Amino acid sequence: MSDPMQMGKPPMPQGRPNPTRQAVEQNRSVMNPTDVSVMAGRGQMGGDMSVRDFFGQFGVDVDGPVSQLQKFASDQQSKADPLNKMASIANAGGGQRANPMPQGRKPAVESSGGLEGLMTNMGQ
């Protein structure tokens, strides 16, 4: 019998990894309610999980120095902020962004800004 929850989902593409998907996963935060829901649904968080197991999945050694816990908390807090999260995900492809304007086209407004620039560009 097939799982009714899986019926409407398209199959996962095989092949090379998707940098955006990886960035989304790497930017989940235990301080963001939406991320916590996703992690709980995947079994990455749970009430019966040990503290050692919980922190271990994030690379924190519970027997290690407190400084790593401070770094973890700082990273999680940064990732919880939606603007930081989106900026990090947007830079996932090595910081490369598509050229917003095709080559050979002039911008709508020349660099001589202000009202004079606008009037010049409008042909006045």
Residue 73 inside a domain? The answer is yes
**Residue 60 confidence (pLDDT):** 93
DSSP designation for 17: -
Q: Integer distance in angstroms from the first to the last C-alpha of the chain?
A: 71
pLDDT of amino acid 24: 87
Q: What does each of the 124 residues of the chain score in pLDDT, given as a tens digit?
A: 455 454 555 555 566 778 888 888 888 999 999 999 999 998 888 888 899 999 999 999 999 999 999 999 999 999 999 888 888 888 876 555 444 445 555 555 445 566 776 667 666 5
In the chain, the amino acid numbered 105 is: R
The answer to whether the pTM exceeds 0.95 is: no
Residue 76 lies in a domain: yes
Residues 6+ apart with CB under 8 A from 35: 28, 29, 79, 80
What pLDDT does 106 receive?
Answer: 54
* Counted domains in the chain: 1
In-domain check, residue 22: no
Could you tell me the residue range of the domain that residue 59 belongs to? Answer: 50-90
Single-letter residue type at 38: V
Domain assignment present for residue 57? The answer is yes
The answer to whether position 14 is within a domain reads: no
